[in-house]
Each structure stands twice: as C-alpha cells, then as structure tokens.
Amino acid sequence: MTSEKMIIQIKEWLKEAAGYIQVSLTNKLLVSQKSNRKDLVTNIDEETQAFFIKKINQNYPNDRILAEEKGFDTIESLAGRVWIIDPIDGTMNFVMEQENFCIMIAVYEDGVGQLGFIYDVMKDELYWGGRKQGVFLNDQKLQQPKDTALSKGLLGMNAYMYGKNIYAAGEIGHASMGIRVSGCAGIELIAMLKGNHIGYISNLSPWDYAAGLVLLNEFGYKYSNIEGKPLAFAKREYFLAATPTAYAQIQKDFIRN
Amino acid sequence: MTSEKMIIQIKEWLKEAAGYIQVSLTNKLLVSQKSNRKDLVTNIDEETQAFFIKKINQNYPNDRILAEEKGFDTIESLAGRVWIIDPIDGTMNFVMEQENFCIMIAVYEDGVGQLGFIYDVMKDELYWGGRKQGVFLNDQKLQQPKDTALSKGLLGMNAYMYGKNIYAAGEIGHASMGIRVSGCAGIELIAMLKGNHIGYISNLSPWDYAAGLVLLNEFGYKYSNIEGKPLAFAKREYFLAATPTAYAQIQKDFIRN
C-alpha cells in the first residue's frame, strides 16, 4: 500500500536532495568513468543515492531497493514493495550542462507501478502521480495529451540507435516530424507527459523507465521493449513508448514487417 | 555605427515581440508548410517578422533587412548596415513544444557583425552582445568558456547530417562525448555561449547563424562552412562552429583527411 503520507515524504526528500545537488554544482565535481568514457558517475550521484537509501531504510525498513549506482543495481524479483531510483538521470548532462538532468523515484508493489516521480531539478518541475490518481506538475493536475500519429509529432531518440538505424530507429525518426536528443530519459518522458513529443525510443535500464511508466500509464501511452514484449526490469533493453496510434504504427510498419 | 540607443531599442522590441508570442500560444496557431511537410511557418512567424520590419523602417529607414519569411529572404549584398532576423527560430518546436525556440536579431555593417541577440522567449533569457563588447545573459556579463577538446564535450548536431554521416558528422559525433539535437539553432548557440556544448554542426541559413556569430566571435570560437570556407550569408550551408581546439581537430581528422 502507498499512502498520502508516503507521497508527502518523497516530495520532501526530493526537495532536500535537489537543494544538495544545486549547492554541489558550486563545487568541483568528482567524475569517474564506469563501463566506458561516456558512462560517467559523480560523487553527487552516489551521495544522492545514499541519501534516498537512508531515508527509505529509516522509514520503510522492510522495503527493497533497486538503484543505478553501486551495490543496488540488481534485484532478484519485484515481489513485495520495491523502490526504483535513479539519483541523477542524465549524469553526462549534469557534468557538462549543469541542467537537463532529473531525479527519478518509483514505488512498485509486486511488479505493479504505484507511484512515479520525475524531478527536473534545475527547472524545479516535479512531474509525479500514482496509479489511478493522474499526473501532476508540481501542484497542478495535467490533462491527458492527444493520441497523435507518428507523422504528426516529434520523437525523443537515443542518438546511437538513430545513427545506426537499430530496430529501424532511423527510419522511424524520418517518418516522424523529427527527432530530439536530450541525453536524459527523464527529460524525454517529461516531453511526452506534456504532449510535446509523441514517443521515445532508447536503450534503458529499469531506473530509467520505472517512474515514467507509472505516469505514462495514467495518460494511456503504450510502452514495451522495442519488440513489443513487456519490459523486464532487469538489464538494459531497447525501449519504446508512444501514443497508442504511433505505437501501433511503429510496431506494424517498422518492427514487425 | 551602432549605439547604446540601438541596443536599448532592440531589447524593447524583443520584449514586446515575446509578449505577443506568449499570448499567441493561448490561441490556435495557423500552421502552413513551406518547402516540405517538416518545414513549417505560422502566422506568428510572419506577424513577428512584420513587427520588426516596421520598427526598423520607422527608426532606421536607410537600413536593409534580410529575414527568414517571405519577401525578405534574399539580399544582393551586405554593403552598408543590414539587419538579419529570424522572427521564430525553431518553428517546429514552437508548434510542437511551445518552448525551445528563439528570436534572433543581428546588425551587420559592410559584412561585419556588430550586434547579436538570441532570445529564448519561454525562459526569458536574452543572450546578446556586440563586437568588442563581450556577451551578456540579460544584464550579466558572461565569462568566456574553456577551449575544450572534441573528445571532452557535447556537440549540438543536425539529426539528418548525423544519421547520414554527411561530412563525417556521425563519426565526429562519436568522437565527442555525445550529440544533442534540440531542433533550434538559437538553443544550440546558447549552449555554446554557456560552455555547455563545445560545438555545433548543422545546415543553416544566414538568419540562423548571423546573431550567433557575433557572440561566438567575442568568445574566440571558430566558425565557417563545414569545408572551412567563410560563410556566404546566402543560401543554406553546412555549418561548423566549435572551440578552437575542437574546430582544428574536426577539420584535420574528419573533413580534410
């Protein structure tokens, strides 16, 4: 069960973490490479994750946690209540741009998304919501975007998939009104929640999509791995989310043909 | 000659136009196609351009104007004083996202950039400056960004050039820390002025780069057409701007080899 109290707590934690992150940007970041030179982590990613883990352990000691940084990046199953956290989504942007990054937190129960929070820290825009509760920007309830066709809207895209035409991502992009590459899953998911983009194609880990799926679901968006199978919440997968019309068109005309 | 008075006037016109644009977003836009289905113009592009042309004609009746929309999109020469205007740069974003678009105004004298203004309307961020005067964000003077190498920074990119590897744009992108695609030249040029991106590769018309060049020049960035020749201020050209180190590396390793 999630509760109103839990929502209030998570919002407080997010604001506290955001304050810490913003102050940290006035100091020198300690940047390390993970799997390759473009896969970065900073001391702030790790400290922010530790902050959330401490809060969850204090308040919900029986819950389990799946999170991006070391020690928490795998989980046996989604049984029971699981928190899925990306302390800084878009670390490259955080390092290079000091903007266009998000904190993302999701609460799942037995594999079903209950709460989702995507916080654009530098804009102070918190997109959040819960199952059968709708989607909010800060305190304002958002309207469900229109079900726009592929040819009529912009598509968030992973640059590598676009350039290499992986799963026809290049062709799908050309069939849309254009692609946009922000380098941050949270920013792309927000663009869909606002109705600015009709879809998003990328290569994502569970903490990149867990919060977003709760919110996309409220607005009737379709999502899956790119082959149309349920997302596994395990290792990185090619990801597709789109309006129902664009999703069906992408599956029919580009993935399954 | 440009003057302090001219700077104050242009800022006033920009604020007035921005107010009109923001109000216009509460109404239905009239969207038309120009050369193809992805090349859009709205009634607001045209009305905003007409507003600036009227102001310039009233105040500087001897000056000439080069601007994106109909009737003003070619000019015989850059002799004398010429205003170069993009009333809404990033019209696709304006229509689809209602953000991530700019107004751009430049003043040139005998082909030499004197003043440049890039206004991110929705963020209310005006990047402006003049020859030998530096670059400002609203009222605050900006520091010159570092001369970062290609492998150490993000690159703004035209998606089509990246996908088709035109002038090795795909390879150049892979050599960087990553590409970003915003769909708006002004937004990409701002990212360079902030030091967030080290360069920008695109296919641009004079009104897409005229204001930006004045500001990039103040910060020591290098720019040219992608083959290293001076930009012609005529038809669309493949465009490259980057830090001196990244520019030299792109020319040597990718364009001329």
One DSSP character per residue, B74-128 reads --S---SEEEEEEEEE-HHHHHHTS-S-EEEEEEEETTEEEEEEEEETTTTEEEE
One DSSP character per residue, B20-72 reads HHHHHTTS---EEESSSTT-EEEHHHHHHHHHHHHHHHHH-TT-EEEESSTT-
Nearest Cα neighbor of B35 from B69, B84, B71, B63 is: B69
* Domain co-membership, A108 together with A157: no
Q: Which two tokens stand for residue A201?
A: 């194609």
Give me the sign of the Cα torsion angle B97, B98, B100, B104: positive
Cβ-based burial of B257 (10 A; exposed 0-12, middle 13-18, buried ≥19): exposed
pLDDT of residue A208: 98
Which residue of A143, A150, A181, A197 is the best one to mutate when testing the B interface, meaning the one whose CB has the most B CBs within 10 A? A181
* Domain co-membership, A56 together with A24: yes
* Domain co-membership, A194 together with A244: yes
Which residue of A146, A148, A180 is the best one to mutate when testing the B interface, meaning the one whose CB has the most B CBs within 10 A? A180
Neighbours of B248 (CB within 10 A): 14
* Domain co-membership, B121 together with B15: yes
* Domain co-membership, B8 together with B109: yes
Q: Between chains, do A183 and B181 touch, taking CB under 8 Å as contact?
A: no
Q: What mean pLDDT is predicted for residues B203-218?
A: 98
- A172-188 in b/e burial notation, b at 16+ Cβ within 10 A? bbbbbbbbbbbbbbbbb
Q: Which two tokens stand for residue A72?
A: 């928490």
Give me the sign of the Cα torsion angle B104, B112, B69, B19: positive
* Domain co-membership, A15 together with A129: yes
A4 in a known ligand binding site? no
pLDDT at B2 over 80: no
- Looking at the complex, report in whole angstroms how far the Cα of residue B162 sits from the nearest Cα belonging to chain A: 7
pLDDT at A1 over 70: no
By CA distance, what is B94's nearest residue in A? A196
- Looking at the complex, report in whole angstroms how far the Cα of residue B49 sits from the nearest Cα belonging to chain A: 24
pLDDT of residue A3: 85
Q: What mean pLDDT is predicted for residues A123-143?
A: 97
Establish if B161 touches chain A: CB-CB under 8 angstroms: no
B73 in a known ligand binding site? no
- Looking at the complex, report in whole angstroms how far the Cα of residue A100 sits from the nearest Cα belonging to chain B: 11
* Domain co-membership, A155 together with A202: yes
Nearest Cα neighbor of B122 from B139, B97, B105 is: B97
**Final residue belonging to a domain, choices A122, A141, A160:** A141
Establish if A216 touches chain B: CB-CB under 8 angstroms: no
Q: Measure CB to CB from residue A178 to each of B159, B162, B180 and give the nearest one.
A: B159
Q: Between chains, do A178 and B154 touch, taking CB under 8 Å as contact?
A: no
Query: The domain containing residue A133 runs over which residues?
Result: 4-141
* Domain co-membership, B128 together with B154: no
Question: Whole-angstrom Cα distance, residue B142 to residue B220?
Answer: 13
pLDDT at B257 over 80: no
Task: Using DSSP bridges, classify how beta strands A222-225 and A237-242 pair: parallel, antiparallel or unpaired.
Answer: antiparallel
Counting every residue written for chain A, the total comes to 257
B125-130 β-sheet, strand order: B64-67, B81-89, B102-109, B112-120, B125-130, B134-137, B140-141
* Domain co-membership, A156 together with A248: yes
From start to end of chain A, where are the E strands? 31-33, 40-42, 64-67, 81-89, 102-109, 112-120, 125-130, 134-137, 140-141, 154-157, 178-180, 197-204, 222-225, 237-242
Establish if B159 touches chain A: CB-CB under 8 angstroms: yes
pLDDT of residue B1: 64
* Domain co-membership, A214 together with A157: yes
pLDDT tens column, A8-23:
999 999 999 999 999 9
pLDDT of residue A51: 97
Q: What mean pLDDT is predicted for residues A196-219?
A: 98
- Looking at the complex, report in whole angstroms how far the Cα of residue A171 sits from the nearest Cα belonging to chain B: 10
In chain A, residues with a C-beta closer than 8 Å to the C-beta of B176 are: none
Q: Measure CB to CB from residue A159 to each of B38, B153, B162 and give the nearest one.
A: B162
pLDDT at A167 over 70: yes
- Cβ-contact A200, A233 below 8 angstroms: no
In chain A, residues with a C-beta closer than 8 Å to the C-beta of B196 are: 96-99
Q: Residue A243 is part of a domain; what is its CATH number?
A: 3.40.190.80
**Final residue belonging to a domain, choices B95, B124, B141:** B141
Q: Which two tokens stand for residue B97?
A: 């996202």
Establish if A142 touches chain B: CB-CB under 8 angstroms: no
Nearest Cα neighbor of B116 from B132, B127, B101, B102 is: B127
* Domain co-membership, A227 together with A207: yes
**Final residue belonging to a domain, choices B100, B123, B141:** B141
ipTM of the complex, rounded to two decimals:
0.95
pLDDT tens column, B216-239:
999 999 999 999 999 999 999 999
pLDDT tens column, B25-46:
988 889 999 999 999 999 999 9
Q: Residue A87 is part of a domain; what is its CATH number?
A: 3.30.540.10
B63 in a known ligand binding site? no
* Domain co-membership, B132 together with B156: no
Domains held by chain A: number: 2
Question: Whole-angstrom Cα distance, residue A144 to residue B255?
Answer: 47
Nearest Cα neighbor of A25 from A41, A42, A50, A37 is: A42
